Amino acid sequence: MSTTIANTLDTADLRARVTRFQETQAKIVEQVRRVIVGQEEVVNQVLVALFVGGHCLITGMPGTAKTLLVKTLSDTLGLQFKRIQFTPDLMPTDITGTDIIEEDSNGRRQWTFVQGPIFTNVLLADEINRTPPKTQAALLEAMQEKSCTVRGNIYKLAAPFFVLATQNPIELEGTYPLPEAQLDRFLFNVLLDYLPFDEEMQVLGLTTTTHVAQAETVTNAQEILDMQQLVRMVPVAESVARYAVAIVRATRPSDSSAPDIVKKYLNFGASVRGIQNIILASKARALMHKRYHVAFEDVAAMAVPVLRHRVLLNFHAESDKVTADTVLRKMIDSITVPRD
């Protein structure tokens, strides 16, 4: 099913595009590393989401550089950046914008649309779970269709459009769980953990002196769009696609292929969007690892961050203190990798 695409990837022009992709990726990582210490897997997953054209939910404790990572990345990419601080009193129109009545020089009144902060390239939805679902829903159309509708008028958003939302995993007071439809719009749920001792020492050296580390711009919007197009051209063998489908189907307790750990600890599994996102993320990862095709290892590596927010744990998991990551990793280990 990928013969034609595979052949086109042999052309000199596309080989040159792949080389540029990898060079630009290396430059972005180099600049981000000037400011962000450690968190290598986190940075890679955020870049995968960018190259796919997806969105990221970033979950981490306060002070783990969630906001700093997003701001640094936007500086490096040369893209327009806006931040929304999500609070309980935030309204949908505070995100999308609204129509106001303006009077011209002749005294005539007319409706004028005033754009909200959603009209940008990189949008930081800071502490997204602090606002009610009604306001969170203002992002649904934007994240899926790259547009927003206000008073019946549809407005296209800038391209690329990249939402990075942050949330604190331990706060319960004054927070609202993200609806399943909202969670499903995110390609990844990226988890930030505490840094090792040596890396925390590096952070001290970077942040407690008069020197302020800053990233430089190394790319632009058009190049990012070209990279996103290139990712979709990476071929996927049928056996690899079948492996991705098998993984997602195994997350559904009602499916005959679901292992015992899934049937015991999950109420619901992932939809077909989970399969689509695993394949897209695997294509980006393959290019980032200097390969021209998707491998089984790409699928296995991308499955957990794609699926951890798409499966619903039951009360048995909560009682036994079993996490979604634990269930997914054991489930993946139980699935036989197809032979080519």
Q: What is the pLDDT of residues 14-55, one digit of tens each?
A: 788 888 998 999 999 888 888 888 778 888 899 999 999 999
pLDDT bracket for residue 68 (50, 70, 90): confident
Of 97-101, 202-206, 225-229, which gets the smallest average pLDDT?
A: 202-206
199: pLDDT strictly greater than 90: no
Q: Which CATH class is domain 22-207+216-233?
A: alpha beta
Is the predicted pLDDT of residue 2 greater than 50, yes or no?
Answer: no
User: What integer pLDDT is reported at residue 62 of this predicted model?
Assistant: 76
The reported pTM is: 0.86
pLDDT value of position 174: 63
Biggest alpha carbon distance in the chain?
Answer: 75
Q: How many CB atoms lie within 10 A of CB 297?
A: 15
Burial class of residue 64 (count of CB atoms within 10 Å of its CB; 0-12, 13-18, 19+): buried
Residue % of the chain over a pLDDT of 70: 95
The distance of Cα 163 from the centroid of its chain, to the nearest Å, equals: 7
CATH code 2.30.110.10 for 234-340: no
- In single-letter form, the type of residue at position 145 comes to E
Domain ranges of the chain: 22-207+216-233, 234-340
The Cα–Cα gap between 282 and 3 comes to 18
169: number of Cβ within 10 Å: 10
pLDDT of 59 above 50: yes
User: Strand 56-60 to strand 162-167: parallel, antiparallel, or no bridges (unpaired)?
Assistant: parallel
Give me the pLDDT at residue 212, please: 73
Position 131 pLDDT exceeds 90 = no
Nearest of 248, 247, 338 to residue 295 by alpha carbon: 338
Instruction: Look at 172 and 106; give whichever has higher pLDDT.
Output: 106
Averaged pLDDT of the chain: 86
Tell me the pLDDT band of 10, cut-offs 50, 70 and 90.
low
